[in-house]
Structure 1
Amino acid sequence: MKKSIAALLLVLLLLGAAGTYLSLNRDSFTLWPFNQSMPFDGLSKAVSDHQNNLFVIDNAKKTIHKLNSQGVLQFSITSETGKNGEVYRFNDMAVDDQGYLYTIRTLLDPYGIAVKSEQIVRYKPDGQFDRSLFTEEYDSQTKRYRLGSLRNVQVREGMVYFFNDEVHQLTLYQAPVGEASSSEPKSVYTIKLPENKYVSEADGYKPGEIYYSTRSGEIYRAFSDGRSELVYPLPGLDRTRRNFPESLHLDNQGRLIFIDFNSKSISRLDPKQPYIIEGLVNEDKAKASGVELAFDATNSSIGQDGSLIIVETAQINRRLPDGTITPSMVEAQYSEAVKTKAILLWSIAIAGILLVLYAIKLVFFNLLQRRLPLMMKQIFILVPVIAVSMILLSTVIYTSFSTKMEEETFSELLLLAKNGQNLIDGDKLESLTSPLDYNGSIYQSFRKKIQSVFDNNEQDDNQGFYKAVYKYENGVIYRILEDDDGMHMFNPFLQTPENQQVVLQGKPATGQWQDFSGEWRYAIAPIFNSAGKIVGVFETSKNLDGILKHRQLVLQSIIRNIAFISIGLLLVLFLMTYVLLSSIRKLRNSVGEIAKGNWDAVVTINTRDEVSDLGDSVNTMAARIRDYITKVENFSQSYYRFVPQQFLRFLNKESILDVELGDQVEQNMSILIFNIRGFYQLSKRLSPEENFNFVNSFLKRFGPYVRNHQGLMNKYLGAGFMALFPNQADEALRACIEMRKELDIYNSHRAKVGYKAVDFGIGLHKGPLRLGIIGEEQRLEGNVISDGVNLATMLEKMTEPLGASILITDYVVQSLEQPDGFLYRNLGLIQVEGVKEPLHLFDVYQGDPDTVRTLKDKTKALFEQAVTYYQVGRFYDAREAFLMVIKQNRQDKAAQLYFYICDEYFQNGTTAEWNGTLSVS
């Protein structure tokens, strides 16, 4: 017992160490050890450095990956969670020549909607956090949604630059790059925005070469005196206000690159020639390069080599300077170190599971089988049972509550979506025609009405709603207003069955989707104008993270209450058990006296229950034992049992006296069946005495070959025997070959005295079998039970029709340690009558006479090729090949059998059941 307790303590110590290591490396633990790559899942940005390393923002802005030029993952930076459940997101990044990474890290509320703060954060070349360079805080008066005021971090000429959108002006900041840099960023340039214009994106760092786009769809150039000049769209330019420029960047030659989601294209504009807009990438050009671009949540950046890096949700492409678009990169390759660590972690996890199972075994099979108080055993058994019952009950209640909560969530969202008709005036919605209306009087009135309903209640139950207003125009749904400052007015929205039901039938719809920002529940309803026409859609949605928070509180309450109830039940149970055990203790004392030989001891229990009945039964049993002992002492009888000596070592018995009926063991052995062909006809010509003499002489000559190769003669079969080989299959096969060679010598001796030659067949198979003792107490016999015995017997019977002396299965071939040391040929798949699965057989001709062996070896390659033709249904080729074999070896029965069946199938076709096998009956 002390050893078991010590082992249990050691197991618990190892489990603690394994759990600590896995907890410290839980991020790597999510990687399946056999995965060679990591598919991209929610890309939003990609930039390259001067060494052509690629930095990508993935996983819905939660993770930054660094890939080398071959696409191998170097490291990952994962966003954190705030102390109150807030979530961090990466919105932009840039890298300097020393490998330092600068990123805009945005802190959102727990629902991932409202911005709490933003930082410019620097990471070291190995991906470790270095420091925060700049912080911008937001309050309820300066609400921003998903995207804060910081814009376009960039590294130029040894400095890191970024913009700060201060609503009516745009300020450019700079700070030195590199390891030695510790100074705070300083303001170097301020741009006064035109009236009623709001910044969307910006790029550049020199006055006169700084460009910014607005939420109303224009691009301006800022000069050193602070004024701004309109660059796009100029009057007369073939562009509408729906051609909104997004993902604005300056290339290495000072030209503007932007994405137009309305026309699904990436365009380039040279400010020196503002009326010429060059289409760099569109759907047709992408398809011409074998690339599919969806132009949905697409982003772009300029690579160090001048290429255009195009990022979509799950793929990255490059447009090279010559206009070629590279194939899509959809995944990052794992390095060998990462894969090795994943294998190590999973190995530790599996070892931990095995340790848990071993701990359970120690408790329930070692400790509980020891002499322990019944009360302790009940604790070990009942506590896990009650714990499992508690978990199951909690699961049922939690599932029921979750279902009800989801139904209520959908009902609440649907009610709020329908209320959108009261918040959004359809006629005013129709009057919004382009991004120029951004933040106008109508836009602001919509925003204020929505905030008055959703933002006044600060209770957690009513937070986390995502609101959006869409305009329906000419069969297209356009974004107008939503809780995402990264989205722009009149950006086309993807059609879905739900929103088509709303705009075409006027029926509200609910649904759910899972994207990279979480799992969402939503409801949408139509917005009508005064004429009753559907002109828009109002959406309310909620991230399941908020719902899960409430579920977890309920689940914790359920588990806490059930735990209290379970503890109470255990206390009551222990008290009842103690009272009931008093009668069992009396029974134990009385039975102990009987066990000591005091047969006159009497059990006295008056509880009038099952224990009292058991006491009466013990008294009756003691009386009968007394009578039986009296009878047993008057006589004794011994039994003689016979078990073959060879079985003792397999049954782990030291002496034949230890062998008992039912002793058995499972082994994996080679099974050899040896039988004389035509023995029945031969025996008819001999007298009984001559038959016995012949068989004994024959077995005496061939039996030693079995023992010489560590074989076990299991049973004589009259005209043959069955032998077992527990060692390598090579030994069994050598015994077969030597017996076949001995047959030629044996027949030459018979010929000298005028006797006819005899022949035999050998079947050899390897597989599991069970050796044991069968019979009854008065007569015991060692025997073998295995399907392999029947299989080997069938092989021996098939040797003659297949023209072989020794037939073996593929199980034997696969077990050979030196297969090249034997001569055999592949007979293919043979279907034997009475056997469901076909057998893969081989003809061992190494011991055949020289002529037969030479011919079979000469035609082996052609024969096996013919078998392959037959198995794939090329009967004409197989027939011709087998014919060539027969011409060289007219005694080849297997080739003849295949030839005739090939000719039959070629002439008349196969049966419906034919499966590439050869039928032998």
Structure 2
Amino acid sequence: MKKSIAALLLVLLLLGAAGTYLGLNRESFTLWPFHKSMPFDGLSKAISDGHNNLFVIDNAKKTIHKLNGEGVLQYSITSETGKNGEVYRFNDMAVDDLGYLYTIRTLLDPYGIAVKAEQIVRYTPDGQFDRSLFSQEYNDAQTQRYRLGSLRNVQVRDGMVYFFNDEVQQLTLYQTPIGKEQISEPKSVYTIKLPPNKFVAEADGFKPGEIYYSTRSGEIYRAFGDGHSELVYPVPGLDRTRRNFPESMHLDNQGRLIFIDFNNKMISRLDPAQPFLIEGLVTEEKAKANGIELAFDATASSIAQDGSLIIVESAQINRRLPDGTITPSMVEALYSQPARTHSFIHWSVALAALILVLYAIKLFFINLLQRRLPLMMKQVLILVPVIAVSMILLSTVIYESFSKKMEEETFSELVLLAKNGQNLVDGDKLESLASPLDYNGATYQSFRKKIQSVFENNASDDNQGFYKAVYKYENGIIYRVLEDDDGMHMFNPFQQTPENQQVVLEGKPATGQWQDFSGEWRYAIAPIFNSAGKIVGVFETSKNLDGILKHRQTVLQSIIRNIALISVGLLIVLVVMTYVLLSSIRKLRNSVGEIAKGNWDTVVTINTRDEVSDLGDSVNTMAARIRDYITKVENFSQSYYRFVPQQFLRFLNKESILEVELGDQVEKNMSILIFNIRGFYLLSKKLTPEENFNFVNSFLSRFGPYVRKHQGLMNKYLGAGFMALFPNQADEALLACIEMRKELDIYNSHRAKVGYSPLDFGIGLHKGPLRLGIIGEQQRLEGNVISDGVNVATMLEKMTEPLGASILITDNVVQSLQQPAAFQYRNLGLIQVEGVKEPLQLFDVYQGDPDTIRVLKEKTRPLFEQAVTYYQVGRFYDAREAFLMVIKQNRQDKAAQLYFYICDEYFQHGTTAEWNGTLSVS
């Protein structure tokens, strides 16, 4: 578990590092590492600098790209979103020799229609925001602008930044010096008084007498130093019914005017010195001759420093070189190899982060849920994600259903508003509008006021964000007349679509959608009739999908908020119900825990009258049966341990008799004790079989407990005795022998009281290796001990009587004693034991003998052991005399008597050739 926690902490640390890296480089997500280029989409302007770098406004005025001479992307500047949902758009730009970029950045309302503010903003050569040079806000109806503010044509000339400000009645030129350091506030350097009822469309130039501006009514004027203006285009006598409105006007390096004539689908050049001569620089025919297709729809142009003409359409960029050649279309920007590598690293980190997230979830949920946790916590950990996912899916379904319904209602609403255009626009008056000269005239203003009275006097969010447009239908062509877009001009032809053809030819409303620089739009169009019932125009109402999405987001937030509240409520109810249910389970758990501890009398009491209560009753029944079963098992175990000692199983590393198999064995070093009653054969002949059994059981029950008292194991009964094993210290085995010998005196005193003759026994004790295991065959198993030590102990017991000892032990036992001084024993010397090849060093333990015997043996022990030493070295005379002195003091010392006779024999007649200092006992 510690490893899992450490792994989880490491994963979280790595996720934090990955998240920080991805957050700092989030713009790299826009580049897919396997894409080599980025197609243009929604171009509106392009300019170049002295190093042949190209700057383009792309993505519907949302992004500025810088490309080098080979078309490789250097950086991108992406527009921001305002704090209240407003959107920024780039409307114009210029670049200085140091690489600083100056842009007109326009802030539109969330619907992408009304202008809220404008700025002149500077960016560093590497595309980072530097500072704002000039700002202007539009807060009231008097200064209301649509899509395009009052700032015009930012340009860099002679170390200065220039731009125009359309102040309705006048046009003001501002300038500010270029520099890396803090630059001063732009100041007004020139003011142009506009002709009556003229409104500025575009302007270019920075020197009085070389400043030109176009008007919304389709003229081009030149402004002089004293502030007055002179008409340059069209000169008197030019037929205005052609409606050739000049757009995208610029001055070339030779002071000539270049503009686009959408009516004639050409880019024209006009020399103010020869105003009657208009040169067609680029036409559809010339473009096709160079293999280029130009749509002349939303086309823009600019003049490069080398004199070439940069032509921009929505998805392509071309250049008209000074020799008239038109270059192939540039339709995409190439990604640099470092950018692709960085993007690959970025996406790899993102993929690794996703894998780490999944691994962290696995570590958290799987390892955590495998731990011992409260059931309620486990339910919360499982149900919260399940409920969250379920609620998200539910929210998605509801949202999608609502969005579809809302879109249908939006189209229905737009159709109704479009049909209402017949009441807002008088068809007869619409027919009276003949050219751009009618811009902002009485009829124009009447249409604008009526439309605004319906659409702009209601502050409700549901009635905001509508885009309105009036088109005139004349001679099979649809012309723009009035729109919520100050960038559009009167009597520009509008492209034919199946929808608008349905309106003008069949008189039926139509709906559709389109996408432009300001976003994705839903629209409805309906016909406008004159008093004779003839279709003379089209009224359009449309709504930006961004506005619809804003409303959808509001609804979605409401749905999410309500579903979240419902989910929290459900979770609370679930937790409370779980707690209540778990209270019964906890009570059941505690009771079962008590039963598991052995408190079998525990009774489970649950009164919930449900499945848990039934389970409690079942537990009580089970506990009662377990009590009965355990009683039987305990009784069986007690009985079973009487036959197979538990220590025997432990020696074999077995938990129960069920695990014992034939052949199980283990080698141990133990003390082996043989206990036997002397003269039992003669005694048993005097008793009936029943009396024999009763006597043996009584006798063994008297002496057997001493074996268990000293951690001994009663291995087997030998009729009138038993064999015991002592796995621990030899001291314990010897203490058991001594205490049994002392108990014999007490036992004999009891027998004497009832007229029974006294009994005696002998004990042989030896210590050595033995093999303890299971012998027999599959149908009959028995625990047994196989060892030479058993034979030695058996022979020792038999020799106790001829040697006059109650307890005989070997030298192995004496050497194994932890405290030999705590015992009373004497050395009997080397004795040849029958059946044992090598003689044994035997010792007579007399500590448990009757006091008379014990005292005499203790008194004569030094003399006896000295005599044994004499015997072992062949000094038989000295040994005989020493043993004689022992016998004089203790006439019952059988061992001394045996040694005395053998010493006398060897002294009188000598030893045999095989004698080796041992004593033979028969």
Q: 1:637 to 1:419 in 2, by over 3 A?
A: farther
Aligned to 2:902: none
- Contact 1:310–1:316 (8 Å) recurs in 2: yes
Deviation at 1:478, TM superposition (A): 0.8
Kindly indicate whether the alpha-carbon contact (under 8 Å) linking 1:173 and 1:185 is maintained by their aligned counterparts in 2. Answer: yes
Aligned to 2:412: 411
Instruction: State the secondary structure of the residue aligned to 1:564.
Output: helix
| Alpha carbons 2:47, 2:304 under 8 Å: kept | yes
Correspondence 1:293 to 2:283:
no
Distance (whole Å) between structure 2 residues aligned to residue 119 and residue 209 of structure 1: 25
Q: Distance in 2 between matches of 1:24 and 1:417?
A: 47
Using structure 1 for the length normalisation, give the TM-score: 0.65
- Distance in 2 between residues matched to 1:348 and 1:471, nearest whole Å: 57
Bigger shift: 322-331 or 597-606?
597-606
> Do the aligned partners of residues 411 and 422 (structure 1) sit closer, same or farther apart at CA in structure 2, a change above 3 Å counting?
same
Letter in structure 2 aligned against 1:266: I
Whole-Å separation in 2 of the counterparts to 1:111 and 1:448: 21
Supply the distance in 2 between the matched residues of 1:625 and 1:119 (Cα, whole angstroms).
Answer: 92
Are the equivalent residues in 2 in contact too, given 1:4–1:366 (CA < 8 A)?
A: yes
Deviation at 1:332, TM superposition (A): 1.1
Aligned-partner Cα distance in 1 for 2:404–2:283: 45
**Counterpart residue number, 1:707:** none
Instruction: Compute the displacement of 1:489 (Å).
Output: 0.6
Superposition deviation, residue 119 in structure 1:
1.9
Q: 1:27 aligns to what?
A: 27
Cα shift readout 1:226-270 (whole Å, capped 9, x = no counterpart): 332222222455775411111111111111111111111111112
Residues in 2 aligned to 1:576 and 1:210: alpha-carbon distance in whole angstroms: 81
| Structure-2 residue corresponding to 1:355 | 356
Matches within 5 A, 1:225-304: 225-237=226-238, 240-304=241-305
Alpha carbons of 1:349 and 1:625: their partners in 2 closer, same or farther (altered >3 Å)?
Answer: farther
The 8 Å contact of residues 421 and 526 in structure 2, kept in 1 or not, is answered as: yes
- The separation in 1 between residues aligned to 2:604 and 2:153, in whole angstroms, is 92
Structure-1 residue corresponding to 2:475 = 474
Counterpart AA for 1:119: Q
Aligned to 2:496: 495
Q: 1:438 aligned to 2:431?
A: no
Q: Show the 5 A alignment for 1:164-563.
A: 164-180=165-181, 182-237=183-238, 240-563=241-564
Contact residue 309 and residue 320 of structure 2 kept, 8 A: yes
Partner Cα separation in structure 2 for residue 573 and residue 133 of structure 1: 60
* 3-state SS in 2 of match to 1:531: coil
Listed as ranges, the matches of 1:654-733 within 5 Å are none
TM-score, normalization by structure 2:
0.65
Q: Partner of 1:65 in structure 2? A: 65
Contact residue 241 and residue 436 of structure 1 kept, 8 A: no
Pick the structure with greater CA Rg: 2
Q: What is the match of residue 136 of structure 2?
A: 136
Q: CA shift at 1:311, angstroms?
A: 0.5
1:439: Cα distance to partner? 1.1
1:625 CA drift (Å): 10
Q: Deviations over 1:721-779 (max 9, x none)?
A: xxxxxxxxxxxxxxxxxxxxxxxxxxxxxxxxxxxxxxxxxxxxxxxxxxxxxxxxxxx
Report the more deviating stretch, 571-580 or 45-54.
571-580
Determine if contact 2:18/2:350 at 8 Å carries over to the other structure: yes
Q: Report the identity percentage.
A: 83
Partner of 1:101: 101
Aligned residue identity for 1:58: D
Deviations 1:185-242 (A, max 9, x none): 2222222222222221111122222222111112222223333222222245577541
Secondary structure in structure 2 of the residue aligned to 1:144: coil
Does the residue aligned with 2:406 lie in a helix, a strand or coil?
helix
Contact 1:114 1:144 in 2 (8 A): yes
Question: What's 2:706 paired with?
Answer: none
Distance 1:431 1:25 in 2: 58
CA contact (8 A) 2:240 2:435 kept: no
Structure 2: which amino acid aligns with 1:50?
G
Partner of 2:811: none
Which residue in 2 is equivalent to 1:747?
Answer: none
Cα offset, 1:492, TM superposition: 1.0
Name the Cα RMSD after superposition.
2.9
1:147 paired to 2:152:
no
State the 1:376 CA deviation.
1.5
Q: Which amino acid aligns with 1:36?
A: K
TM-superposed CA distance for 1:593, in Å, is 7.3
Partner of 2:85: 85
Distance change in 2, residues 1:599/1:514 (3 Å): farther
Alignment of 1:564-583 (within 5 A): 564-583=565-584
Which residues of structure 2 form unaligned runs of 5+? 638-654, 663-922
**Structure 2 counterparts to residues 40-79 of structure 1, below 5 A:** 40-79=40-79
Q: Which moved more, 1:266-275 or 1:88-97?
A: 266-275
Q: For residues 609 and 135 of structure 2, what CA distance do their matches in structure 1 show?
A: 81
Name the residue aligned to 1:111. 111
1:43 is displaced (CA, Å) by 0.8
DSSP-derived class of the 1:368 partner? helix
| Alpha-carbon distance in 2 for matches of 1:539, 1:47 | 34
Q: Is the 8 A contact 1:291 1:327 kept in 2?
A: yes
The superposition leaves residues 148-169 of structure 1 with CA deviations (integer Å, 9 ceiling, x where unpaired) of 1111111112222222222222
Is the Cα–Cα contact under 8 Å of residues 169 and 199 in structure 2 kept in the other structure?
yes
- Cα distance, 1:181 vs. partner? 5.9
Say whether the 8 Å CA contact 2:175–2:188 is kept in structure 1.
yes
Q: Is the 8 A contact 2:241 2:434 kept in 1?
A: no
Cα contact 2:509–2:527 (8 A) shared by 1: yes
Q: What secondary structure, in the 3-state scheme, does the structure 1 residue paired with 2:27 have?
A: helix
How many angstroms does 1:487 deviate by? 0.4
Q: CA deviation at 1:568?
A: 2.4
Call closer, same or farther: CA 1:245–1:369 in 2, change over 3 Å: same
| 8 Å CA contact 1:44, 1:298 repeated in 2 | yes
Bigger drift between 611-620 and 185-194 goes to 611-620
Q: Structure 1, unaligned stretches of length 5 or more?
A: 640-921
For the residues of structure 1 that align with 2:658 and 2:124, how far apart are their CA atoms? 93
Deviation at 1:2, TM superposition (A): 3.7
- Partner secondary structure for residue 370 of structure 2: coil
Shift of 1:321: 0.9
Q: Name the CA distance, whole Å, in 1 between partners of 2:658 and 2:121.
A: 96
**Contact 1:113-1:464 at 8 Å conserved across structures:** yes
**Residues 510-545 of structure 1: CA deviation (Å, up to 9, x unaligned):** 222333322211111100001100010001111122
**Alignment partners' CA distance in 2, 1:252 and 1:136:** 31
**Cα distance change of structure 1 residues 625 and 568 upon mapping to structure 2, 3 Å threshold:** farther
- What is the match of residue 844 of structure 1? none
Partner residue, 2:843: none
Q: Distance in 2 between matches of 1:164 and 1:23?
A: 39
- Cα deviation for residue 628 of structure 1 reads 13
CA distance in 2, matches of 1:559, 1:414: 31
**Contact conserved, 1:101 with 1:125, CA < 8 A, in 2?**
yes
**Is this contact kept in 1: 2:55–2:65, CA < 8 A?**
yes
Report the alpha carbon displacement of residue 469 of structure 1 after superposing the two structures with TM.
0.3
Q: What CA deviation, in whole Å up to 9, does each residue of 1:572-598 have, x standing for no partner?
A: 222322332344345545666787899
Counterparts of 1:394 and 1:550, CA distance in 2? 16
Distance 1:305 1:281 in 2: 18
Contact 1:4 1:367 in 2 (8 A): no
Q: In 2, distance between residues paired with 1:289 and 1:599?
A: 103
Does the 8 Å CA contact 1:41/1:516 hold for their aligned counterparts? no
> How many residue pairs are counted as aligned between the two chains?
639
Q: Distance in 2 between matches of 1:591 and 1:407?
A: 64
